[in-house]
Amino acid sequence: MTSAEGSFVVFTPSGKRGRFHEDSSLLDAARSLGVDLDSVCGGRGICGRCQVVVAEGEFAKHGITSRADHLTPLSEPEARYRERSGLAPDRRLGCHARVTGDLVIDVPPESQLHRQVVRKEADAHPIDVDPVLRLRYVEVREPELADATGDLQRLIEALDRDWKLTGLSADPHVLASLQQTLRSGGWTATVAVHDDSTIVAVWPGFHDVALGVALDVGSTTVAGHLCDLHTGEVIASAGAMNPQIRFGEDLMSRVSYVMMHPGAETELTSAVRGCVDGLLAELCEGAGVDPTDVLELTLVGNPIMHHLFLGLDPTELGGAPFALATDEAVHRTARELGLTAPNAGARVYVLPCIAGHVGADTAGVILSEAPHDQRSVNLIVDVGTNAEIVLGNRDRLLAASSPTGPAFEGAQISCGQRAAPGAIERVRIDRDTLEPRFRVIGDERWSDEPGFDATGVTGVAGSGIIEAIAELFLAGAIASDGVIDGSLAARTHRIEADGRTFSYVLHDVRGAPRLVISQNDVRQIQLAKGALYAGCRLLMDALGVDTVDRIRLAGAFGAHIDPLYALALGLVPDCDVDGVTSAGNAAGTGARIALLNRGARDEIEGVVRRVEKLETAVEPRFQEHFVGAMGLPHATDPFPRLRAAIDLPAPREAAAGDRPRRRRRRVDEPERSSS
């Protein structure tokens, strides 16, 4: 009951509490206590963001009885909102329900301004939704003959009065449409305010949709994730081929193209910007949303894609000292970057590059994986044409890029192809007969299951090549020095002579390409995995550790490969098998975090400055490690943790019968992961 000091109100789940007099709205009460209760319309009963529920009953802990009728009866604006937008019977609008007695008020998650959005990846902490862009509803003073204050200044005055936003400025395009907007909204408007400092868009009346897109601009594909900036949810994701491919498959051939055709960087820039612009339009069309509601974009990419997207000549990144044009985060408007699909006031935040070889994509990986927050030592590898490697924890963080080449992506492999439907992604080889079975992207069946279409197989993806070579190694058909054992040709047609070396026939049916793992294919993988391993060891030497606690495999390659095979082939240093996991599309997730949480931008900018950069090209120990890592890990190699999980073959040329004696752990059928 109301006491002389007012009624007692407790908010859950925060537990914040206080006494309030009769004229207090629940929104006012929440704000005065610092309870996280949302509002876009500023308490005018329009936005419905401040919905709360009265928890009815006796609350002995607080010594009160909470009842629904301890609030003023349903107000006119609440009734209107219920009519227009729907309002559950037990819900009230915090801005119009006033306290008349003791209450326990529950603030549901969707009414919290600072909500969290759960990530798909296992053991990833949720993202706190606190975007740099906010919508603010205001009522603007009408112009008067006696007062020459401009429309813009009266808008800014209203934002100061109602939202305590001071020193605001406005994007030029806002000024151009402001007069019309304010008048058509009857002097009410919703304003998109960027970073509490710039008005980037204005709508007449009330508007409650603000969208953002996190972009991951890769050499091969460009991916975009359309997000609701209020809920933090991903509304739609889409990808497109990077049209720069016509200037060169890999990054270095694109840089060469620019070097040989001065000024061509503008062509490459137009190509990738056009691709992103189209992707933005497609994302919005597919999701049925208005592209002018897209107000915020974040972008990650490797240094060369970063430079080309920003219109910077990447030539300097093609050779030592690999100088970046800028190593800080870049802020642009979408229009400055030639993006026409989003709102004319949309802002683009490009995460910082770490070094000439370690880009904003790696900054995204760090933001997503947050090794700098952890006590345990994390090794994160993002394998593409180069492998970016990050090692460390809260005390120190090191990064390097290792020149693995494109073998892990299926390039320079005779039967290789990009990960796409029809590509073999999983391989199992019988230890005795050397007969394979496999699975292709786009089909959940194994090749020995009924209904599998053997003629639909088009090639072998990077993960399939890794698995095939690892399986052949574990079956003894490939020795620890990488040589395919030709003597087995006598026993099975799967091994066949190929000039002076031997090959393994993985797939050979009429109507489909003949897929063969050649000796050269094995060599390419050995070179790539040697480079990756050497890069990891170089960072471990620099950090002064012999083992790591956790290995995270980022990117598409990391998502497709079975961690056990990565270990078995010696791609990464020895680790508990359970400690090696996929980080998913960590770079893209990092872009999404920077999109949804403004603090994450300061965070990654600070971390990037602290990262110690190693340049593999000039570290003598890299060469040493590289040479030492060319062979496949065998039973006497220092891989105690791997050996705890799996029997490794003996060193040197394995004869046909040199199969592992006993498998301590079966290589389980991996969970199918979507391509």
In degrees to the nearest 10, what's the CA dihedral of 593, 598, 601, 606? Answer: -120
Within 13 A of 609's CA, how many CA atoms are on the CB side? 7
Q: Toward a second copy, which CB reaches closer, 329 or 591?
A: 329
CA distance 578 to 580: 5
Q: Toward a second copy, which CB reaches closer, 339 or 527?
A: 339
Q: Does residue 321 bind a second copy (CB under 8 A)?
A: yes
Map the footprint of a second copy across residues 391-420, applying CB under 8 A.
none
Q: Toward a second copy, which CB reaches closer, 166 or 455?
A: 166
Q: Smallest distance, Å, CB 322 to a second copy?
A: 7
CA distance 590 to 380: 14
3-state helix, strand, coil split of the chain in percent (to 5) is 35, 25, 40
Q: Smallest distance, Å, CB 160 to a second copy?
A: 14
Choices 158-166, 221-229, 316-324, 552-560; region in contact with a second copy by CB under 8 A = 316-324
Among 181, 127, 189, which Cα is nearest to 158's?
189
Q: What is the DSSP string of 237-300?
A: EEEEE-GGGGG-SSHHHHHHHHHHSTTTHHHHHHHHHHHHHHHHHHHHHHHT--GGGEEEEEEE
Q: Which of 1, 88, 323, 454 binds a second copy (CB under 8 A)?
A: 323
Q: Does residue 179 bind a second copy (CB under 8 A)?
A: yes
Q: Smallest distance, Å, CB 373 to a second copy?
A: 23
Q: Toward a second copy, which CB reaches closer, 150 or 286?
A: 150
Map the footprint of a second copy across residues 15-44, applying CB under 8 A.
none
Burial of 600 (0-12, 13-18, 19+ CB in 10 A): buried
Map the footprint of a second copy across residues 606-625, applying CB under 8 A.
613, 615, 617-618
Q: Toward a second copy, which CB reaches closer, 88 or 320?
A: 320
Choices 226-234, 327-335, 361-369, 387-395; region in contact with a second copy by CB under 8 A = 327-335
Q: Toward a second copy, which CB reaches closer, 32 or 149?
A: 149
What is the chain's alpha carbon radius of gyration, rounded to the nearest angstrom? Answer: 30
Q: Does residue 313 bind a second copy (CB under 8 A)?
A: yes
Q: Smallest distance, Å, CB 617 to a second copy?
A: 8
State the alpha helices, DSSP H only, in 293-430: 303-309, 360-369
Q: Which of 135, 324, 466, 595 binds a second copy (CB under 8 A)?
A: 324
* Angle of CA points 398, 402, 405, to nearest 5°: 160
Q: Which of 53, 124, 252, 325 binds a second copy (CB under 8 A)?
A: 325
Q: Toward a second copy, which CB reaches closer, 128 or 615?
A: 615
Choices 322-330, 364-372, 586-594, 656-664; region in contact with a second copy by CB under 8 A = 322-330
Q: Which of 312, 472, 477, 566 binds a second copy (CB under 8 A)?
A: 312
Q: Smallest distance, Å, CB 177 to a second copy?
A: 9
| Binding-residue pattern over the window 333 to 372 for a second copy, x denoting contact by CB under 8 A | ---x----------------xxxx-x--------------
Q: Toward a second copy, which CB reaches closer, 5 or 336?
A: 336
Q: Helix, strand, or coil here: 399?
A: strand
Q: Does residue 315 bind a second copy (CB under 8 A)?
A: yes
Q: Toward a second copy, which CB reaches closer, 187 or 473?
A: 187
Q: Does residue 176 bind a second copy (CB under 8 A)?
A: yes
| Tokens of residue 534, six digits | 């050497």
Q: Which of 285, 328, 578, 653 binds a second copy (CB under 8 A)?
A: 328
Q: Smallest distance, Å, CB 178 to a second copy?
A: 6
Q: Toward a second copy, which CB reaches closer, 122 or 146?
A: 146
Q: Does residue 322 bind a second copy (CB under 8 A)?
A: yes
CA distance 144 to 53: 43
CA distance 108 to 245: 48
Backbone angles phi, psi at 551, to 5 degrees: -120, 130
List CB contacts of 179: < 8 A, sequence separation 6 or more: 151
DSSP state of 25: B
Map the footprint of a second copy across residues 129-168, applying CB under 8 A.
143-146, 148-153
Q: Does residue 77 bind a second copy (CB under 8 A)?
A: no
Q: Does residue 178 bind a second copy (CB under 8 A)?
A: yes
Q: Which of 36, 139, 327, 496 binds a second copy (CB under 8 A)?
A: 327
Q: Does residue 180 bind a second copy (CB under 8 A)?
A: yes
* Angle of CA points 260, 262, 266, to nearest 5°: 120
Q: Smallest distance, Å, CB 175 to a second copy?
A: 6
Q: Helix, strand, or coil here: 169?
A: strand
Q: Toward a second copy, which CB reaches closer, 79 or 175?
A: 175
Map the footprint of a second copy across residues 292-311, applying CB under 8 A.
310-311
Give the pairing of strands 51-54 and 103-106. Answer: antiparallel
Q: Smallest distance, Å, CB 307 to a second copy?
A: 9
Q: Does residue 541 bind a second copy (CB under 8 A)?
A: no
CA distance 588 to 238: 12
Q: Toward a second copy, which CB reaches closer, 271 or 355?
A: 355
Q: Toward a second copy, which CB reaches closer, 472 or 608?
A: 608
Q: Which of 320, 454, 627, 644 binds a second copy (CB under 8 A)?
A: 320
Q: What is the DSSP string of 561-611?
A: S-HHHHHHTTSS----GGGEEEEESHHHHHHHHHHHBHHHHHHHHHHHHHP
Q: Which of 225, 273, 332, 634 binds a second copy (CB under 8 A)?
A: 332
Among 343, 359, 366, 381, which Cα is nearest to 308's?
359
CA distance 525 to 522: 5
CA distance 255 to 319: 10
Identify the residue whose tokens are 């691709």: 275
Give the pairing of strands 550-554 and 51-54. Answer: unpaired
Length reported for the chain: 675
Q: Which of 57, 172, 421, 442 binds a second copy (CB under 8 A)?
A: 172
Q: Smallest distance, Å, CB 198 to a second copy?
A: 13
Choices 177-185, 247-255, 506-514, 565-573; region in contact with a second copy by CB under 8 A = 177-185
Within 13 A of 79's CA, how many CA atoms are on the CB side? 5
CA distance 589 to 600: 12
Q: Does residue 542 bind a second copy (CB under 8 A)?
A: no
CA distance 424 to 597: 38
Binding footprint of a second copy, residue count (CB under 8 A): 43
State the alpha helices, DSSP H only, in 86-191: 151-163, 172-184
526: left (phi over 0), alpha (psi -120 to 50) or beta: alpha
Q: Which residues pair with 538 in a beta bridge?
A: none
Q: 486 and 495 in contact (C-beta within 8 Å)?
A: yes
Binding footprint of a second copy on the chain (CB under 8 A): 143-146, 148-153, 172, 175-176, 178-180, 310-313, 315-316, 320-328, 330, 332, 336, 353-356, 358, 613, 615, 617-618
